Amino acid sequence: MAAMTSKERLETAWSFQEPDRVPIELKIGKEAQEDPRAERLVQLIEEHADNFSGGPAYDWGFLGWPAEYAERVLEHCPGEFIRRERVYETPVGPFTAIVREPDTDESAPDCHWEKRFITSPQDIERLLEAPLRIGPPKWAAFEGAVAKVGNRGLVTTGILHPLGRLVRNATMEEVYIWFIEHRELMHRFLEVTNDHVARVVSELMRGGIGPYFSVTAHEMLIPPWAGMKFFDEFVFPYDKQVNDVVHRNGGKLRIHCHGNAMNYLERFAEMGVDAIEPLEAPPMGDVDLAEAKRRVGDRMLLSGNIASPYFPLWSRQEVEEAVREAIRIAAPGGGFTLRTTGGTAGTNAFRSREQLGKIIENCEAYILAGLEYGAYPIST
């Protein structure tokens, strides 16, 4: 079979056909890219990685409402921490949060939230006082992203997930209490915001933006946070409304969902999810790749299952075996891409220079194993 471009390879796999080889997804952090030890890895990524890349096309503001963002330093203790106030100015006034971040030279992967943007049902009621109107699409930004990627991958446009964004902007425990104590209000919020998202997506696609879209949210809407009864009432119908718009316009949707996704794969497929990553196996998640392939492998592009949190510990041989086994299980018939389960394969969350070197070494092993064992027809 003649060699395909990354774009052709991903589109073929996503059409549940066998490309020339299994697509290999990998992106690494900026600090790793600039490390001299990563010279060969960077070259391998440039030559062989088949990545999905984000293409900005719309400003979703604050939970869908137009907003101006600003922040200011409240307190700075050099070498220890920085406290910041973050503010979204909306048509119904400001929503503020306070975070405390470590003051280090290295970028912090997260921060401590002293106060979230949404702290009560009254904040949601305040938002609902303002109508939701469709703003201008970012045509130039999207076209620029498509031109930059070219045939080196696929561009996906992020779609707002109102419930996922609400959970991130409030305390998760409180949000789930509101679903019990303020059920009608929460349904009204989801009806208003998801109707808006569906109208925006329809407008974007009519103008030529798409056909590939992405959503990040669902890991917070499944166990241990919520069960199937909650999912069927507050997630499934609203997601399906948006996903149906994507499909009616000839598009596809990919979701990012860490954790215990195994028993939700079929419901994801039924509500219109066309692809899912990163398919974490125990103990990080509960996905059995062979069973996932059996259940939904002809309906959803499966991406992932290579446990990169172990890259600081594994030998090259262990990485190679993990890749080989994933390809053996999930690659036949297409519908699969190799992907690490940790973002940027852990190159943004290393703890020492020695650990980063080990991660770089195992990222190399990951790509090389994908090239060695991923050629179709699969023979591992």
Domain ranges of the chain: 6-64+132-373, 65-117
Identity of the residue numbered 51: N
Q: Taking the chain (380 residues) in consecutive chunks of 10 residues, what is each chunk's mean pLDDT?
A: 93 98 97 95 98 97 98 94 96 97 68 94 97 96 97 98 97 93 98 98 97 97 95 98 98 98 98 98 97 98 97 97 98 98 88 92 98 95
Strand-pair category, 81-90 with 93-102? antiparallel
Cβ neighbours, 10 Å, residue 122: 11
Sheet hosting strand 81-90, strand order edge to edge: 68-77, 81-90, 93-102, 112-115
Burial of 224 from C-beta contacts in 10 A (0-12 / 13-18 / 19+): exposed
Buried b (16+ CB within 10 A) or exposed e, 66-87: bbeeeeeeeeeeeeebbbbbbb
What would the two tokens of residue 85 be? Answer: 């106030």
What pLDDT sits at residue 104? 72
In CATH terms, 6-64+132-373 corresponds, of 3.20.20.210, 3.20.10.10, 3.40.718.10, 3.40.1350.10, to 3.20.20.210
Cβ neighbours, 10 Å, residue 295: 16
In whole angstroms, give the CA distance from residue 6 to residue 23: 7
What would the two tokens of residue 146 be? Answer: 């498509």
In whole angstroms, give the CA distance from residue 4 to residue 228: 41
Sheet hosting strand 153-158, strand order edge to edge: 51-54, 153-158, 212-216, 252-257, 275-278, 301-303, 336-337
In whole angstroms, give the CA distance from residue 71 to residue 96: 9
Of 194, 292, 298, nearest in space to 245 by CA: 194
346 within 8 A of 311, measured Cβ to Cβ: yes
Q: Which residues pair with 83 in a beta bridge?
A: 75, 100
Strand-pair category, 252-257 with 112-115? unpaired
Identity of the residue numbered 180: I
Identify the three-state secondary structure at position 74.
Answer: strand
In whole angstroms, give the CA distance from residue 237 to residue 234: 7
Q: pTM higher than 0.85, yes or no?
A: yes
What pLDDT sits at residue 2? 81
